[in-house]
Structure 1
Amino acid sequence: MEANSFPIEVKLRRAYLFVVDICSVNETRAIPLNKARSSPADKEHCRVLFELANRKTKGWGTGEKKYIYDGSACLYHLHDFKDSEFILQPADLPEDIRYRHRNEIRIRVFQPMSNHELPLDIPIDSMTVDQLSEYKKFISLAISQDSIDRGVFSVINYGHLFVASNEQAEPIRNCVELRRGFKKSIRIVQRDEKFVPSIEIDVTTSAFYRPIFLSEAQVEFRTAIDANNMLLGVTVEPEYNRERRLIFTNFSEKNPEQYNFVLKDGTSMSVLDYFAEKKKLYVHPTLKLACVKPIQAGVFPSELLRIVPHQRVRCERLDSRLTEQVHARNAVLPKVRYDLINEIVQHLNLTADNPVLKAFQITVAPHLFRIDDPLPITLPKVMFGGNRLSHPKPDGNFNSPSAKYYHPGKITNWAVLYGDVGDARDVNTVKEFVKRLLPAAVRRGMELPAPQFVEYCDLTQWMPHGFKAVANLNGLQMLMVIDPKAGMAPTHAMLKLAEPKYKIVVQHFDYAKVKDVVMRNQGMVLDNMLNKINMKIGGCNYAPVFSGDALPLSLGAGTFVVGYTAAAGFATEKKAKAKAGEDGTPIITEPLAVGFAGNYVRNPNLIVGSYLYQLTPDNQHELVDPTLLENQFHHMLDILGKQRPKDAKPPRIVILRDGLSENAFSKVVDHELPAIRKACLRIDPKYAPQLAVLVTTKDTTTRVFNVINSPRIDNPQPGTVIETGIVRDVSEFVMIPHKAIKGTAQPMKATVIHNEIDDINMHVLEQFIHTLSYSHQLTCAPTSLPEPVYQASILAKRALYILPAFREFFKDKVPRLEDGTYDVERLNRILSPRNSLLELVRYTA
């Protein structure tokens, strides 16, 4: 078995950190060129400028040709030297970039206020947090410097690079092209009882905007609205003045003939005439104009604005087809990924011939790391109704040995609402579906009486008007909506919003699937529907059996397990009295969503949960507000005491925290763990349970390949656990609990950051975590993460998903403070499932 981990040795004793400042200087001001969040194209430009200055100053007076520079403000050098400054004249620049500069360029290199000298020879476990962070950044930049200098790769950030060659880009549609690249991360691992750095490299494909003129881009879209939504915020440059940077906002309804400028002398002139007379440029009279920021820049002919290269497209901008194309390029088989990683390594030139690595005395192993002894783990048995056990196959999949659920759900009052599905024949199909659903539910042990039927013709208007159709159905516990529009996104968002807004369980089915059950007798589709319904009405489809090493932490023996994670949204809102953006436009940041899940209901094997919103200070998006965490943890313990009085004060609590970087581990122990202890004390001043805290994450660059037992390269078997070679120390392990549905399996990394539970070692925690991966309920297979954090992540994403729908359909009811920011306390009362039936069932099924 091999992992994409390449050991590193650094023999250099110290390097020197400098700050780089590059400005275009005119008579009145200095314009920064290397801003903190420069685009990849701007970083490449700054690299060219810095290299010119480095040559002309002979390595800033040191004679050293090699350096490590990130294209922004960070420079690592082999020698110490005094603060320096050099002026580049436009005539000094190569012709291919000279067009961007009319003024001289000032490049300053100076020592930072602290951490100027970077010690590289001290033991890694003796480094401070800041020293270790700088050490890892230094190595990461050093490894990619030569390939960037040779023009092989360009940079998104120092952990993510992509091929620079336009010939290797794959144009698709909607002004999008795909570029292959790689992610890298420096990890500190323990090998031969020593802490050493290692680089992990994983191949990835990303979507970028094609560097074409806006006039060309617009014709690729069906409507101007689609084009505006996709291109909003893209950086463009005028073809006749490529030193200038503008931000596209939208296409104007007017063309150059129709739109008039008001000149400084008060006269007006059409855009067409202005460019012909002032710029000596002919523009097409009927092509749409492009509106840009800053606002004073006004409008430009779209045929003169070119999209700046190497701008990545955010995932939420891609439609479903484009998203599928990106996923398809990334879901490659293990053998393909293995070969691509080796190809990336060759392009990086991790050999003795690499001039940067040679100068900085860095050696990198050129081959994937061999794992000698991965640990097999026992696959847990799974209990179904009637105490019938299922034994998982080697790939982790298992079958139901019983027709009945482990814990069948029951309900007394529910309704079926169907939209405009067509003629009477289609209405009869809905009723026939329900007729088949009811006896199938009884066979599973569920109590599902006949429903009430409600017809509402226009489901697109259901949120503002349609709920009145069911509001008078007193005691309604579940509403099943049959949607004729095959999962239409606005309908889906409305229905998901309805659940927390009206505190009612909603089951959304496409009419096409309903028709499959009736017309094609598709039993598997019906089974999947029943699996969802049973969970939504409080049932539990099956339960993994905690045995062997996992037995001491069995959920049925009183262990309380909680998973939580924080998720940040992408969107921002523009409102008055808020923080101003670069152009003075007020911006309000979306709240953070925190998902919580645990086994606090009557059935100890059922993982359910809730979510809350919080406002978070800048750069703290990983952390949960301690007061919010304390209140929610107390709330879950309070429900646990009411649902299962004998487990009211669980002696052992296992906390699974997801979505954290290594730098935040200590903050969880210092800030979040004390909040959990306070919650326990509020239950009883003498209540002090034993706590274990594990950070679990799947968002890593780690990949593991099975290259031992077959000439092929496969994914590891589900249940594979790795404790050595690619982990930091004995408190960390890598696990592959699942079988990848497509492509290469993404391992889970788990780190024990706190453990005070008696007689619980790593093997117990490993088996416990693996057993929790068999708790998903909707599929008979393990998941890639243990269910508590898997559900917490789903809940956090659900919170972010419904917020835009809430703003759209209830504009006047969005709670705001006087400064325009969200009133999250009121928002939580309106949109959180807390204090409702929803937090007692798996309503997200």
Structure 2
Amino acid sequence: MSGRGGGERGSGRGGGRRGRGQGRGRGQPSQSSSRGGGGRARGRGSSGSTATYNPPPPQMAPAQPPPQMAVATPVPPSGAPFSHPSSSSGVGSLSREVSEKLTMEPVAVTTAPPLPPSSSKAIRFPPRPGFGTVGTKCVVRANHFLVDVANADLHHYDVTITPEVTAKKVNRAIMKQLIDVYKESHLGRRCPAYDGRKSLYTAGPLPFESKELVIKLPEEDRSAGSSRPARKERQFKVAIKLASKPDLHYLREFLSRKHFECPQEAIQVLDVVLRAKPSQTYTEVGRSFFHTSLGPRGELGNGIEYWSGYYQSLRPTQMGLSLNIDVSARSFYEPILVSEFVAKHFRRSNLSKPLSDQDRIKVKKALKGVRVKLIYMDYAKTCKIIGVSRDPISQLTFTHDDKRTNVSVVKYFREKYNVVLKYPSLPALQSGSEARPVYLPMELCSIVEGQRYTKKLNEQQVRSLLRATCQRPNIREGNITKMVQVNNFEVEELVTKEFGMHVRKELALINARVLNPPVLKYHDSGRDKIVNPSCGQWNMINKKMVNGGKVDFWSCVNFSSEYRNMSEDFCAGLVNMCNSKGMVFRQTPSIAMRSARADRIDQTLMDVYKESAGLNKPLKLLIIILPDQTGSYGKIKRICETELGIVSQCCKPAQASKFSNQYFENVALKINAKVGGRNTVLNDAVLRRIPLVTDVPTIIFGADVTHPPPGEDSSSSIAAVVASMDWPEVTKYRGIVSAQTHRVEIIEDLYKQTRDPQKGLVEGGMVRELLLAFYRSTKQKPSRIIFYRDGVSEGQFSQVLLYEMDAIRKEGYMPRVTFVVVQKRHHTRLFPTDRNKTDRSGNILPGTVVDTSICHPTEFDFYLNSHAGIQGTSKPTHYHVLLDENGFSADILQVLTNNLCYTYARCTKSVSIVPPAYYAHLAAYRARYYIEDEMSDSGSTGGGRKPKDKVVEVRPLPSIKDNVKEVMFYV
């Protein structure tokens, strides 16, 4: 995105983001299937037939169209009208009482709001209202591979292993041994597919409905020449019991659009089959596989490296079953000595000095849960780190076997293993248990290869990972094809012979359209009043902001020591730029600019506040040149926005010192939005010709929830909701943030009740506050709500819609709602087929939209690539409509969403995600700064999950001052 040099840092949508993917996916198989009789037990699948089932292809482009050959145009799903009736809610969760109140006028609620439904099974999302037709037709390739499935009599068996094993790798070894031993005698020569947990799947019945088998698992190979006595083989009991009979008939009916409910269990079976071989061969992380043989491997710094791999998921689509495969990369611990890791991770060149308590806690956090190999023993032995000792290893003793003698750990290793420790001042690693710890020297423990690094990467590591994995579209497409060839499903007996599945090796060719960019309106006093963006971008030359903000009281604080003397010249250039672009920005500061040390941020900001308040000139803007070292940005924002009520614009000193006009322009765009101005608006909004937006007062919401970084279990999740405050322009957004329960995706404070001593029970919440703000701003009540909800995985669609729509309805005000989920965390990529129709980076053009072939068989969804690529391969955003009471057609919603992407305040480029959702993410990301200073270093960030019975207290966010909330402070 543009504006990269401009002022404050962007959020970076990857970091510490989301604990998404909770719950089972709709149409995307979960990691483990539901147990007990959760699946259908109808048993209508045929048994043993080899006839291949080919899904109906009306939505799929031909595999290899000849030059200038027209690709088949899809038809709407069976039974789906081309215009969605506005009276249809599309959600079965709303009570009759609520449905009767669907009116565009306020409704007084005299009774208690209806309780939310106890089950989401009755919810049916709105059908596709037809396919889009607007735009220039084209054909693109998608990284989806069609899967043909033969008739098979699927059976699902529950598996119970005793003693219980938690490691998937061990479970798979147990089941492999069981199949090798009992395939002929007890399994009827079947080759089952196992998910590594509790489920076993077959393409026909086993000779029994329930049986318990015993197997012995051989010990892992020991090092050559080992003197260690052979360990007794481990024995396991494996109970196998018939659970259900997933039926492929219903899957065919669903793919043919004759049924609307996705038969998830049948897809789960087929997905496990396709994942069986790679699960045994590679390191499995979620739905991805990694191995050093799958691509480049390199250092990220600080003892962390990246491995290459691929993502794989079986999905139901309009063209049939589709295997989505994408290249991927993840961070892993380097397989090095722990002492070397400590030196790298904490940049300590001298390990002979003892660690401080603070550094020791950091070492514990970095290594807790990591498996290490003991290199001083003559046989392979691994241990799991549970902590580090408080004292250096030179001061540690343990009780000898005679239980009377205390032995020095250093002496023990010298006498037992003839090892003289080089770093006796370092603490010891602790294995075993807290009650009976086993002390291990860091220098004699090597980190086991292939362990995922789950903690948040620092900025340098993120940059290194992006540089290493950034691939141009043609390179990425080639690597995806290679991954399909590496899998070679066609020679895998389990896939082809046992289950009769065939995966095509060619990327799917699909119909797409390129939407025209919107016309943008700037101020009439500029030379260029109207702008037609080209390839997703434009500039501010000869243009003035459509509504320039006013800054009468301002000042500047410089915390940089390296660029101490640049404040006046920098501010003069910035102020001139703001004025030249249409703002009314006073030339001289209302209080004197000043420089200060980075260790005096609190006091300096307080001094500035008091001085301006004393002159009765409250600052409209404070320009802040950040310290040379990173780490102060969050503290500054917290103080300014929650304690002092100051809107601030932070600038990095190295970039600010260049006095670049482009930099000044980028910062000016942000400042104008922060002081209440508007940079540009859609010309169609001014002319009142945006369907279902400008006809009646309409408010557009954006909502998101961000979660703590992986492994952090001591902090709250943060929800943010923004809403447009101007109509019909829908460009200015007010934001509200709230802390909520750890890793809960549903926004808890959309609606809330508080008890007031005088007023009694008072209704409130984020939606109510924003609706009232809209009324204050526009003097009108919205008759329509468009709600863009970011951060929801498919498995959470029903739950989020149920509770968040219920919260919106509890306000008692009943405008019609369209609820759209915005998904960026997916692995669908679109590649151009015509090299003459790409952007500068070789990606598909901005405005490319797909609602055929790879989209949902019946529901209202589409992929939109609304931005131009900068580097690497562009990722389209997936929009999925969960509720549509406004009756949007495919064209109207797709065009609206694409056009809004040109109104993002921080740059003169279209962005990849609709701005309301983007702003909500920025607001939530900002709010994390308000509490991160309070996060304890002793909080657990280990490799394991937090205990289920551990309740994480929700610490409320400090309140944002009212004058700050009135503007787009988060940009």
Question: Normalising to structure 2: TM-score of the pair?
Answer: 0.73
For residue 67 of structure 1, report the CA deviation from its aligned partner. 2.3
* Aligned match of 2:267: 136
Q: Which residue of 2 aligns with 1:672?
A: 804
Correspondent of 2:634 among 493, 516, 519:
493
* Counterpart amino acid of residue 804 in structure 1: E
Q: Deviations over 1:138-183 (max 9, x none)?
A: 222211323444x3x33112x1111254996434542222211111
Counterpart Cα distance in 2 of 1:381 and 1:118 = 52
> Which position in structure 1 is the counterpart of 2:718?
593
State the partner residue of 1:565: 704
Give the Cα–Cα distance (whole angstroms) in 2 for the partners of residues 207 and 217 of structure 1: 15
Q: C-alpha displacement at 1:617, in angstroms? A: 7.3
CA distance in 1, matches of 2:844, 2:382: 51
Shift, 1:501, TM fit? 1.9
**1:406-805 to 2 correspondences below 5 Å:** 406-419=546-559, 421=561, 428-449=565-586, 450-451=588-589, 452-455=591-594, 457-463=596-602, 466-474=605-613, 475-483=617-625, 485-486=627-628, 488-502=629-643, 503-517=645-659, 522-546=660-684, 551-554=690-693, 558-570=697-709, 589-601=714-726, 604-616=729-741, 620-622=744-746, 624=748, 627-628=751-752, 631-645=765-779, 648-679=780-811, 681=812, 687-710=813-836, 714-728=842-856, 729=858, 731-758=860-887, 760-805=888-933
Report the counterpart of residue 326 of structure 2 in structure 1: 202
Write the distance in 1 (CA, Å) between the matches of 2:889 and 2:556.
50
SS in 1 for 2:638: helix
Alpha-carbon shift at residue 90 of structure 1 (Å): 6.1
SS where residue 249 of structure 2 aligns? Answer: coil
- 3-state secondary structure, aligned to 1:504: coil
Deviations 1:340-380 (A, max 9, x none): 00000001113265543331111222211001x31221210
Q: How many Å separate the matches in 1 of 2:721 and 2:295? A: 47
Q: Please give the alpha-carbon distance, in whole angstroms, between the structure 1 residues aligned to 2:301 and 2:573.
A: 44
Say if 1:390 and 1:400, in contact at 8 Å, map to a contact too: no
Residues 653-662 or 704-713, more deviating:
704-713
**Stretch moving more, 741-750 or 64-73:** 64-73
- How many residues were matched structurally? 774
Distance of 2:212 and 2:846 partners within structure 1: 58
Counterpart for residue 150 of structure 2: 11
Contact in 1 for aligned 2:699/2:724 (Cα 8 Å) = yes
Alignment CA distance shift 1:533-1:556 (3 Å): farther
**Cα contact 2:158–2:240 (8 A) shared by 1:** yes
Q: Deviations over 1:774-797 (max 9, x none)?
A: 111221111001100011111122
1:100-119 → structure 2 map (5 Å cutoff): 102-111=231-240, 115-119=243-247
Aligned partners of 1:16 and 1:131: how far apart in 2?
A: 18
Is the deviation greater in 343-352 or in 737-746? Answer: 343-352
Once the two structures are TM-superposed, the CA of residue 283 in structure 1 deviates from its matched residue by 4.9
Contact residue 682 and residue 903 of structure 2 kept, 8 A: yes
Listed as ranges, the gaps of 5+ residues in structure 1 are: 24-29, 574-587, 682-686, 812-818
Q: Deviations over 1:749-772 (max 9, x none)?
A: 1112111215x3110000000011
Query: Does the 8 Å CA contact 1:456/1:469 hold for their aligned counterparts?
Result: no
More helix by share: 1
* CA pair 231-182 structure 1, distance change in 2 beyond 3 A: same
Find the aligned partners of 1:626 and 1:100 in 2 and give their Cα distance: 63
- The residue that corresponds to 1:235 in the other structure is 371
Q: Report which stretch shifted further, 546-555 or 741-750.
A: 546-555
1:245 to 383, 387, 405: 383
Residue 338 of structure 1, CA deviation: 0.2
> Residue 172 of structure 2 aligns with which residue?
47
Separation of aligned partners in 2, 1:605 and 1:104: 69
Instruction: Tell me: CA distance 1:356–1:243, structure 2 relative to 1, closer, same or farther (3 Å).
Output: farther
**CA 1:462–1:51: 2 relative to 1, 3 Å:** same
Pick closer, same or farther for the CA change 1:172–1:617 going to 2, 3 Å. closer
CA distance in 1, matches of 2:267, 2:603: 53
**Following TM superposition, by how much is the alpha carbon of 1:274 offset from its aligned partner in structure 2, in angstroms?**
2.4
Q: What's the secondary structure of 1:453's corresponding residue?
A: coil
Question: Partner amino acid for 2:181?
Answer: K
Q: Which amino acid aligns with 1:841?
A: V
For 1:167 and 1:761, how far apart are their aligned partners in 2? 44
Structure 2 counterpart SS, 1:612: strand
One-letter code aligned to 2:342: Q
Q: Secondary structure at the match of 2:775?
A: helix
Structure 2 unaligned spans of 5+ = 1-139, 349-354, 754-763, 940-949
Alpha-carbon shift at residue 445 of structure 1 (Å): 2.3
> Residue 964 of structure 2 aligns with which residue?
838
Pairwise CA distance, 1:202: 0.8
| CA drift at 1:800 | 2.5
State how far apart, in whole Å, the 1-side matches of 2:243 and 2:552 are: 67
Q: Could you tell me how far 1:101 is from its partner in structure 2?
A: 8.8
- CA offsets 1:587-620 (integer angstroms, 9 cap, x no match): x6422211111212588433323243343377x4
- Structure 2 CA distance for aligned equivalents of residues 566 and 238 of structure 1: 42
Whole-Å separation in 1 of the counterparts to 2:245 and 2:641: 54
Post-superposition CA distance 1:620-652 (Å, at most 9, x none)? 43554553597211110100111110xx21222
For residue 473 of structure 1, what is the amino acid of its counterpart? S
Change (3 A) 1:569 1:8: same
Say which is worse superposed, 666-675 or 558-567, in terms of deviation.
666-675
Q: Structure 1-normalised TM-score?
A: 0.84
* CA distance, structure 1, for counterparts of residue 936 and residue 549 of structure 2: 34
Deviation at 1:416, TM superposition (A): 1.4
Match of residue 405 from structure 1? 545
Deviation at 1:232, TM superposition (A): 4.5
On the 8 A contact 1:357/1:363 being kept in 2, the answer is yes
- Say if 1:171 and 1:529 are closer, same or farther in 2 by CA, change over 3 A: closer
Which position in structure 2 is the counterpart of 1:396? 536
The 1:324–1:253 alpha-carbon spacing in structure 2 relative to 1, beyond 3 Å, is farther
Give distance in 1, aligned partners of 2:417 and 2:403: 20
Q: Deviations over 1:465-520 (max 9, x none)?
A: 7534433421533453543633x332112112223322321211123333221xxx
* Counterpart Cα distance in 2 of 1:88 and 1:103: 13
Secondary structure, aligned partner of 1:695? strand
2:127 corresponding residue in structure 1:
none
Contact 2:682/2:729 (8 A) holds in 1: no
8 Å Cα contact 1:14/1:119 also seen in 2 = yes
Change (3 A) 1:117 1:634: same
The Cα of 1:250 is off from its aligned counterpart by 4.4
2:519 to 375, 381, 385: 381
Indicate conservation of the 8 Å contact 2:738/2:749, yes or no: no
Look up the SS of the partner of 2:765 in the other structure.
Answer: helix
Q: What is the CA–CA distance in structure 2 between the aligned matches of 1:146 and 1:121, rounded to whole Å? A: 26
Moved more, 506-515 or 535-544: 506-515
Q: Residues 549 and 767 of structure 1 are in contact (CA less than 8 Å); yes or no, is this contact kept in structure 2?
A: no
Structure 1 stretch 438-447 or stretch 341-350: which is displaced more?
438-447
Question: Counterparts of 1:607 and 1:115 in 2: how far apart (Å)?
Answer: 54
Cα distance between partner residues in 2 of 1:384 and 1:736: 25
Q: Which amino acid aligns with 1:348?
A: N
In the TM superposition, residue 743 of structure 1 has moved relative to its aligned partner by 0.6
SS in 2 for 1:714: coil
